[in-house]
Amino acid sequence: MKKIIYCLTSLFLLVALAGSPVIADWIPADGHKMHFPQLPDEEGWDINATDPMMIADDWRCSASGPITEIHFWGSWFRENTGNIIGFYINIYADIPADPPQIPYSRPGELLWRVFVEDFVAYPILLPETKFQGWYDPFTETYFYNDHQEYWMYNITSLPEPFFQEFGTVYWLGISAVLDQTGQDQYWGWKTSLDVWNDVSVWQDPSGVGDWQPIVEPAETIYNEFYCLNLGGVIVEGWGTDAYGDGWYFYPLEEWWNIWFYDHPLDEKRMKDMVLYVYMEGPGMLDLAFNWSTVEWSLEGNPPTGERIPPLPGVDEELYIRREIVYSGPLMPGQYEFKITVPDYNPEWVSVDVRGFDFGINGIIEHTCRAQMNQAFVINNPDIEPQGACCIEGGTLCLISTELDCYSMTGQYNGDGTLCLGDNNGNGFDDICDTCCVGIRGDVDCSGDYEPDISDITRLIDFLYLSHLPLCCMQEADVNGSGATPDISDITRLIDYLYLSHSAMIDCP
């Protein structure tokens, strides 16, 4: 077994030492063969991945060929450092999400499995002001501010590498095997700053049962409510911390609802909701969860205004989402219903009822959670990455390396990007449709068509730090060279903003 240990003071040192591969086994300049590197969140969580627990996260291949390097980050529970004998490394096929039957993507067939004892580990020391949490989704135990030290693990010697194919989504599973000489020693796989595609997942230690999503532990809000309906009209009702008058009537579809505030809109988090209700009859009842849309929090009730829910009279189709969980003759008794809003955390949630001659009381609980991904990098430094190349004015798209794309006088859209097809029937592949509006330079796609310092920052981040794909290559091609953005585009932005102020080039 080969284990080598070095010491770093911070992850940022990895970036700063891009010219010093002796210090670290992977730095952003080394490249990647996945959608983008998922770098560690230094104030995030470590998810228990101690054998027999298996944690998995997905990636999309950006260059066909054998995987020769796997890099990831992790920590020890309460910094009680143990001895890792080796890691089980699994690679699975992808089962895509297909709601409601498959609400989130997950690992499918096991394609490759190896036990790795040959790895290199580097402890990374955080400043005293930064802490990381510990989470075990199997036992549902978690601790904030559990530890500060974390480690970078590098596997660069795989005797029989797995061959991945461009554009294919795979899942990486990791489980650490310890020598168990110490007490309460557990190793966790660190969460990432970056979220791609879907949540990471965990599997029951017994190895049976389905994969379960990993979401951030969070405090839950509880709101009680009650209503009595006679002849289709609520004659009595209330709710703890409910907005305004409590129950409101929406005549378009004859719903009554009661709004409760949750948290500010967050498009990087998700919402779990549970209803515990007691129903009494003998009438008819439709019961639903209801929540506000992204559009409501950004446009209908802009962030600078007083926070109000989408009350009767608004465009319900645009500003309200609803999911019915019970419909029909009332069957008296206690019930429990659960749903998840997976793509954002809405500001407002509500209970919706309609029908006649019923009574209902209960609790709605709602929890704002972060969708977690794990920190890792898939790489083979000997293979050129590939991406979508637009040629013949964008009427044709093919997959090529960046160099080959330029040799065909094409527009390269970035490593790992895919040709999407002409879905809107305009004669151009969708990825080749121009995303550039007005003048070039809106690198961060903020919609503010006048470039500013944030566009320079985003271009620096793309070229030298995270390497996260750009939202619009044409906007970032500031000097109109037709090539992938480089230092000359940063120079051009600086010149426009702070030096000559000479006019920017128009979008194609």
Contacts 24+ apart (CB under 8 A), 250-257: 250/312, 250/316, 251/312, 252/316, 253/316, 253/354, 254/354, 255/286, 255/288, 255/290, 255/322, 255/352, 255/353, 255/354, 256/227, 256/229, 256/352, 256/353, 256/354, 257/290, 257/350, 257/351, 257/352, 257/353
Rounded to an integer, the average pLDDT of 3-14 is: 42
SS3 318: helix
- What pLDDT, on a 0 to 100 scale, did the predictor assign at position 477? 86
**Residue range 71-117, pLDDT digits in tens:** 999 999 999 999 999 999 999 999 999 877 888 899 999 999 999 99
Average pLDDT over residues 413-440: 82
Domain 220-370 has CATH 1.20.58: no
Tell whether the model's pLDDT for residue 41 goes beyond 80. Answer: yes
Asked which of 141-150, 279-288, 366-375, 468-477 is least confident by mean pLDDT, the reply is 468-477
Q: Please state, rounded to an integer, the average pLDDT across all residues of the chain.
A: 87
What whole-number distance in Å separates Cα of residue 205 and Cα of residue 54? 7
How crowded is the C-beta side of 186, counted as CA atoms within 13 Å?
A: 21
* pLDDT tens by residue, 443-454: 887 766 688 898
As a whole number of angstroms, the distance between CA 466 and CA 130 comes to 21
CB 121 within 8 A of CB 3: yes
Lowest mean pLDDT among 342-346, 395-399, 471-475: 471-475
**Quick check: 496 pLDDT over 70?**
yes
Bond before 309 cis per omega within 30 degrees: no
Residue-level pLDDT at 371: 79
> Is the predicted pLDDT of residue 9 greater than 60, yes or no?
no
pLDDT at position 182 is 62
Q: What is the pLDDT of residue 416?
A: 81
Q: 200 exposed, middle or buried (CB, 10 Å; 0-12, 13-18, 19+)?
A: buried
Distance (Å, whole) CA 256 – CA 259: 10
pLDDT band, very low/low/confident/very high, at 58 (cuts 50, 70, 90): very high
Convert the pLDDT of each residue in 144-189 to its tens digit.
899 999 999 999 988 889 999 999 999 999 999 999 766 789 999 9
41-55, 227-241, 455-469, range with the lowest pLDDT: 455-469
Please say whether the beta carbons of 382 and 280 come within 8 A.
Answer: no
> In what helix (H) or strand (E) does residue 230 lie, and over which residues does it extend?
strand 220-230
Is residue 476 within 8 A of residue 415, CB to CB? The reply is: no
Which token pair is 39?
């770098």
Whether the Cβ atoms of residue 272 and residue 297 lie closer than 8 Å to each other: no
> CA–CA separation, 372 vs 480, rounded Å?
38
Burial of 469-504, coded b for 16+ CB within 10 Å and e otherwise, reads: bbebbbbbbbbeeebbbeeebbebbeebbeeeeeeb
Residue 351 has what pLDDT? 95
Does residue 490 carry a pLDDT above 70? yes
pLDDT tens per residue, range 313-367: 999 999 999 999 999 998 889 999 999 888 889 999 999 999 999 999 999 999 8
Distance separating alpha carbons of residues 190 and 44, to the nearest angstrom: 7
> Both tokens of residue 394?
């964008």
Q: What is the pLDDT of residue 181?
A: 63
Q: Enumerate the domain spans of the chain.
A: 3-216+372-379, 220-370, 386-498
